[in-house]
Amino acid sequence: MKGFGKKLRECREAKGLSQQVLAKMLKTSHSVVGRYEREEMVPSVEVVKKMADFLDTTVGYLLGETEDINMFKDPGMLKRFNDINGLPDDDRKHIIYTIDAMLNNAKLKTLTATR
């Protein structure tokens, strides 16, 4: 599993940004960005939010909550998850159960179609 610093560097390079340019966007110095990438310093939550925004990724990806760089970048999907999360426990459990069943069905169809 990649650490914060490696993910930060990969995202920065994927956007074609130098440490100096990212530092300017974050209103800090390139040496601070370098220290983040080497994991010698830990940025504040606010700085990580700005990084995620500038680098077109998510805080969850940078912090290692997911390995999917695009997880929850679709605002429609994120809204759906937030809506589900705001429901009473019983309703949320029923919806998740239904979604799980539909996902398993779709995976099974894909699996049988490739055989």
Q: What is the predicted pLDDT for the residue at 87?
A: 92
In a domain, 68, yes or no: no
Considering the domain architecture, whether residues 55 and 16 belong to the same structural domain is answered as yes
Provide the greatest CA pair distance for the chain: 54
Range of the domain at 36: 4-62
Alpha-carbon distance of 83 to 96, in angstroms, equals 12
Considering the domain architecture, whether residues 82 and 32 belong to the same structural domain is answered as no
* Tokens of residue 96, six digits: 């998740």
In a domain, 11, yes or no: yes
pLDDT (tens digit, 9 = 90+) per residue, 44-91?
999 999 999 999 888 888 988 776 666 556 677 777 887 898 999 999
Contacts of 54 (CB under 8 A, 6+ apart): 15, 17, 22, 25, 26
Considering the domain architecture, whether residues 87 and 53 belong to the same structural domain is answered as no
Considering the domain architecture, whether residues 19 and 54 belong to the same structural domain is answered as yes
Domain total in the chain: 2
**Residues 56, 62, 64: CA angle, nearest 5 degrees:** 140
Contacts of 104 (CB under 8 A, 6+ apart): none
Q: What average pLDDT does the structure give for the chain?
A: 89
pLDDT reading at 16 higher than 60: yes
- Where residue 26 sits, what CATH number does that domain have? 1.10.260.40
In a domain, 70, yes or no: no
Region 24-35: mean pLDDT is 96
Share of the chain above pLDDT 70, in %: 90
